[in-house]
Amino acid sequence: MKRASFIGHVAWTGAGIAYVLGADGIVRAADAASGGFSFVQISDSHIGYMGPANGDARGTLEQTVNAVNALPVQPAFVIHTGDVTHLSKAIEFDDARAILSRLRAPLLALPGEHDVIGAEGPARFAAAFGRKDAAGRGWSSWDQGGIHFVALINVGEGETMGVLGDEQLAWLKADLAARKTDTPIVIFGHVPLFAVAPEWGWTTQDGTKAIALLRRFSSVTVLNGHIHQIIEHRDGAIRFATANATAFPQAAPGTPGAKPGPLAVAPGSLLGVLGYRTVEVDPTVSWQDFSLARA
C-alpha cells in the first residue's frame, strides 16, 4: 500500500476525532514499547439496548474503553467488529461515537446487522464510522505491522445477513492474489465466516468461498463478532475466533431450548462474560481475551 493511501486509512474521522497519524509514527511507537505490533478487538456494544440482559450497555462500553485506554502499550488500532448500535437509531450512533471517541488509539468499525436496519441504517453507519478508502459496500484491506489486514462486510444493504456476495468475493480474490503465501493474513468481519450455528443465523453462507481463497496462506487469523461469546476453531492453517460482546452474552449454540438473543445472566456475573481481545504480532499472531471483571 502506498503511503498516501495508508495515511488515508488511518486518518480516521469516524469517532468524531480526526486522527492525522503517519503510519511510521504508529508502528514505531508500538514496536518501541513491546517489540511487536498489537491491536485490540471489541465487538457488539449494542448501544440502545435496555433490557434484562444489561440495563446499561453504554456503561459497559465505557468500561471497555477505559480498560483499553489503560493498557500499558497502546494498540496500533482498535477494531469494532460490528453491532455498534442495537437499532441503528441516530441517537444510538451519537452515543456510540461519543463513547468510542474517548479511545486513545485510532478506531475502525465494521457494521453488524443491527447497524444497517431500515432505510437509514446504512447511511447513518457510514456517516458515523465509514472509511474513505473503502470499496463496494465498505470492505477494505491494508498492510500494517507486517500483516495484510482485510475487513469484510457480511451484513445488510441489499444482501441477506451472512452473505459476502459475488462482488466482494471477486474483490477479495483480486486483493489476495497480489499477496505472498507467507504474508500473515488477518480477516475481520461481523458474522462468523465459518458455520457456528446456521439455524441461528450464525454463519456466512458463502464463507466457504472466502475460506477457499485463504487456503494457500501459511498464517490466517479470522476474527469475528455477532455471537457474543468466544468460540475458537481451526481449519488447516486458518484460525477462527469469535469475540465476547461488551453488551450482553448469548446462549451457547446447541443449548436445549435456547434462542439467539440477549441472555440474562445472574446478577454480578455479567462483567465476567463481557470483554475485549488483545492481539499481538511478534511475528506470529496470538491473542488474549480479557473480561471486564478483570479490567
Least distance CB 233 / another protein (angstroms): 21
The dihedrals phi and psi of 195, each to the nearest 5 degrees, come to: -80, 95
The verdict on 265 binding another protein (CB under 8 A) reads no
Least distance CB 165 / another protein (angstroms): 14
Range 181-200, binding another protein (CB under 8 A): 199-200
Q: What distance in Å separates the CA atoms of residue 168 and residue 191, rounded to the nearest whole number?
A: 15
Question: Going residue by residue from 201 to 220, which x/- string records binding to another protein, judged by CB under 8 A?
Answer: x-------------------
**In 3D, which of 267, 66, 79 has the Cα closest to residue 187?**
79
Contact residue for another protein among 23, 40, 53, 84 (CB under 8 A): 53
**In 3D, which of 259, 237, 264, 293 has the Cα closest to residue 51?**
264
**113 vs 280, which CB is nearer to another protein?**
113
Range 73-132, binding another protein (CB under 8 A): 86-89, 113-114, 116-121
Least distance CB 146 / another protein (angstroms): 37
Residue 246's Cβ-count burial label (10 Å; 0-12, 13-18, 19+) is buried
Least distance CB 26 / another protein (angstroms): 35
Contacts of 266 (CB under 8 A, 6+ apart): none
The residue range among 57-65, 94-102, 158-166, 210-218 that interacts with another protein, by the rule CB under 8 A, is: 158-166
**199 vs 282, which CB is nearer to another protein?**
199
Helix-, strand-, coil-residue percentages of the chain, each rounded to 5: 30, 20, 50
Least distance CB 100 / another protein (angstroms): 20
**89 vs 209, which CB is nearer to another protein?**
89
CB distance 80 to 118 below 8 Å: no
The residue range among 17-25, 144-152, 209-217, 255-263 that interacts with another protein, by the rule CB under 8 A, is: 255-263
User: What is the DSSP pairing of strand 37-42 with strand 275-281?
Assistant: antiparallel
Least distance CB 217 / another protein (angstroms): 30
The dihedrals phi and psi of 205, each to the nearest 5 degrees, come to: -60, -40
Least distance CB 62 / another protein (angstroms): 21
The dihedrals phi and psi of 12, each to the nearest 5 degrees, come to: -100, 115
**What burial letters (b/e) apply to 13-25, b meaning 16+ CB within 10 Å?**
ebbeeebebebee
Footprint of another protein on this chain (CB under 8 A)? 48-53, 86-89, 113-114, 116-121, 156, 160-162, 199-201, 259-262
